[in-house]
Structure 1
Amino acid sequence: MKVLILTKNLLAETIFQSKLQQLNYEVYCSTCLVNECQRMSLETTQLLSCFDAVILSETIAYQEIVDLILGIRDHVPMIIRKYESDFTKSTEEEQTEHVIDRWIRVNASLEEIRELCQTITPRETEQSSGAVSRKERPEQKKYPLYNFGFSNRESVLLMCLHEHQGQYLSRQELCEKLWREEGVTSSKMTALSSCVRNIKEKVEKNGVKCNPINTAWGRGYQISDDFYHLIQIGT
């Protein structure tokens, strides 16, 4: 598994990086990518696609974290934020809502880091599980959409993607469908990313080994072929 640590000070990550490496993970630390991830060039996007998780260091200020998240949210499976105090965590958690997936203390023990890493799904695992789903599709039953506990907005998003099965819908198109007259803003884009992530989490929590939504840089979102054949829309 490959982990990227974005930081403002490489020396500040020495102990944390060492613990990750003790657990046999590939770890990369970078200061220059902090700015690059805010601009999100094609090269940066391709680089991020190599990692299973991005850890945002406590050395990065909160406002910079907000800008970073807008850039990287759709390109990495998991975003983790390191924090020094419970006050810092609670304050940032309220502001960033659900766009950060996991939190870890700066001085976390090896055991705590190991348990955190157990929640990260390597990209290779996601691909192989998708292959299994396709193979077993004829034996799978249909799941009504309400079985997963989706919110109204998450259900509308899935129905839009279901209606356009086989096609990618851009982030702008989906924002316009979900919020209509409210218009497309950066906050709406962030909320859309949260919807997609929540859908994936709820599908996983229901024990369904299937990636529900495909993401393609520059194209948007598409309902996966597996999930399209797995769910039942309407009665």
Structure 2
Amino acid sequence: MKKIMVLTKNILAEVDLQTKLQQLNFEVFVTSQTMDGLFLDQMPSACLNYFDFIVISELITESEMNTILPFLQQNGMPIFRKVDKVVSENVKKDIQNNILSGWICASMPKDRLRDLFSSKKLVTSEKTEGCTFGKRVSLTDLPLSKNEKKFFSIIYESNGKLVTREELCLQIWKRCDHSTMSQLSSIKKRIEKKLRDQQLPDEFAKTSWGKGYVMNQHLYEYIA
């Protein structure tokens, strides 16, 4: 199965494209956190080697794209620019100069997307030192504190269903009050930091404001 990384600033903006690609049996990893790593020069190149293609969202500016392109090009995989409707002259020039492999948009029919990603020569590497993308990590191996592990396990075992803040408090502390409720967001942030430290996707749960949390489905691919 070919693997595609989509770099964006808002993962919700990529849902339509992600759905189409997954229906075509591509493995798609949509991330906004990776952009921070690229700008801070903290992204191990081995992590990118796990993917066959990179898509740069239209939400990323031309200036930002030009900043990260030199790093992305070192890995040699095809890079596509996602556009809204109109292909800019700069994108056309980058394609002509072989800086970009092509352009795509979410409204493209699936057969066109399939042909684009199937026709490009794949550049793969077995060197994945320092990167856990593609590996499944056991929950017991994560360096979480007792309450962090409880929090994560409850969300993880919910199978994508909403877990209310009240439920979390009762299961973690056996009580629910202002003190316990106020600790939830801090615990979530600490877990996200530890996932980043393990080079795992850190967006493990979506926050439903005032209600609770829902597990991000793509984390099931990385944590057993």
- TM-score, structure 1 normalization: 0.48
Residues 10, 30 of structure 1: 8 Å contact kept:
yes
Paired residue secondary structure (2:58): coil
Distance 1:120 1:38, change over 3 A: farther
Residues 81, 91 of structure 2: 8 Å contact kept:
no
Q: Could you tell me which residue of structure 1 aligns to residue 32 of structure 2? A: 31
Residues 52, 120 of structure 1: 8 Å contact kept:
no
For 1:81 and 1:103, the matched residues in 2 are separated by 5
User: What amino acid does structure 2 have at the position aligned with 1:33?
Assistant: T
Q: Could you tell me which residue of structure 1 aligns to residue 6 of structure 2? A: 5
The CA deviation at 1:20 is: 0.6
Aligned ranges 1:7-22 → 2 under 5 Å: 7-22=8-23
CA deviations over 1:62-112 (Å, ceiling 9, x no partner): 1101011011111141101111233x4323333674311111123111111
Distance 1:72 1:11, change over 3 A: same
Aligned ranges 1:76-155 → 2 under 5 Å: 76-86=76-86, 88-94=87-93, 97-123=97-123
For 1:59 and 1:81, the matched residues in 2 are separated by 10
Structure 2 residue runs of 5 or longer lacking an equivalent are 127-224
Could you list the structure 1 runs, at least 4 aligned residues long, displaced by more than 4 angstroms after superposition. none
Percentage identity across paired residues of the two chains: 25
Residues 80, 100 of structure 2: 8 Å contact kept:
yes
Q: Could you tell me which residue of structure 1 aligns to residue 56 of structure 2? A: 56
Residues 78, 122 of structure 2: 8 Å contact kept:
no
The CA deviation at 1:118 is: 1.1
User: What amino acid does structure 2 have at the position aligned with 1:5?
Assistant: V
User: What amino acid does structure 2 have at the position aligned with 1:48?
Assistant: L
User: What amino acid does structure 2 have at the position aligned with 1:62?
Assistant: E
User: What amino acid does structure 2 have at the position aligned with 1:91?
Assistant: N
Greater helix content: 1
- TM-score, structure 2 normalization: 0.50
For 1:118 and 1:112, the matched residues in 2 are separated by 10
Distance 1:77 1:11, change over 3 A: same
The CA deviation at 1:120 is: 2.9
Paired residue secondary structure (1:118): helix
Structure 1 residue runs of 5 or longer lacking an equivalent are 128-235
